């Protein structure tokens, strides 16, 4: 499923659910020489149906790349069921001295507190949203379920539910 720019509610309730459940997102940027950079981000959320925000705490390469090329891609998954989303968009930086900073940072601070020094907010205007999932779902559809993926992940990661 692909949701392209122009549709309302690009960040549907399902996408927002995955954002809320995900521990990390992965931010992909490209430098001026077209060399990719992918960086994990722990503090991220959405601010509305078309905008994802990420805290810039220690992201010098990502920031430098965004300044040269605002096209970005982020992905996030539920590691247990191995499903999630990939989001393409245009990023802009909102620094601490910007008049918008406090209002833009509020959703992140409300979730994560202000324990980490946030240098800027990376605001991403969503252009396209795509579902992503483990290949098992389409290679072995008769035997792959969310529950089977969870059980497999528990074994692989040596974890148990609370």
Distance CA 106, CA 96 (A): 12
**Where are the extended beta strands (E) located within the chain?**
2-4, 25-30, 36-41, 44-48, 51-56, 71-78, 83-95, 120-133
Kindly state whether residue 73 falls inside one of the protein's structural domains.
yes
Query: How does pLDDT run across 93-148, given as a tens digit for each residue?
Result: 999 999 999 999 999 999 887 678 899 999 999 999 999 999 999 999 999 999 99
Has residue 33 been placed in a domain? yes
Is 154 part of a structural domain of the chain?
A: no
Average pLDDT, the chain: 91
Q: Full-prediction pTM beyond 0.75?
A: yes
**Residue 46: which domain range?**
2-133
- Domain containing residue 41: CATH number: 2.30.110.10
Band (pLDDT 50/70/90 cuts) for residue 9 is low
Number of domains in the chain: 1
Q: Look at residue 25 and tell me whether its pLDDT is greater than 80.
A: yes
Three-state SS string across 41-54, please?
ECCEEEEECCEEEE
Query: Would 9 be classed as within a structural domain?
Result: yes
Q: Tell me if 77 is assigned to some domain.
A: yes
Q: Is residue 150 part of a domain?
A: no
Res. 56 pLDDT band, cuts 50 70 90: very high
The DSSP symbol for 108 reads H
Q: Does 85 reside within a domain?
A: yes
**Rounded Cα distance, 36 and 70, in Å:** 13
């Amino acid at each position: 499923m692909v949701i392209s720019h122009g549709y309302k509610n690009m960040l549907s309730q399902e996408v927002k659910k995955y954002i809320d459940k995900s521990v990390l997102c992965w931010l992909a940027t490209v430098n001026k020489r077209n060399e990719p950079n992918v960086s994990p981000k722990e503090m991220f959320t959405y601010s509305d149906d078309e905008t994802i925000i990420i805290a810039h705490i220690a992201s010098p390469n990502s920031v430098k790349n965004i300044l040269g090329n605002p096209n970005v891609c982020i992905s996030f998954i539920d590691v247990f069921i191995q499903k999630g989303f990939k989001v393409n968009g245009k990023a802009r930086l909102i620094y601490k001295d910007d008049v918008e900073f406090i209002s833009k940072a509020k959703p992140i601070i409300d979730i994560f507190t202000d324990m980490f020094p946030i240098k800027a907010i990376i605001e991403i205007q969503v252009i396209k949203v795509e579902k992503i999932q483990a290949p098992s779902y389409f290679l072995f559809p008769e035997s792959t379920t969310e529950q089977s993926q969870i059980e497999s992940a528990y074994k692989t990661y040596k974890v148990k539910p609370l």
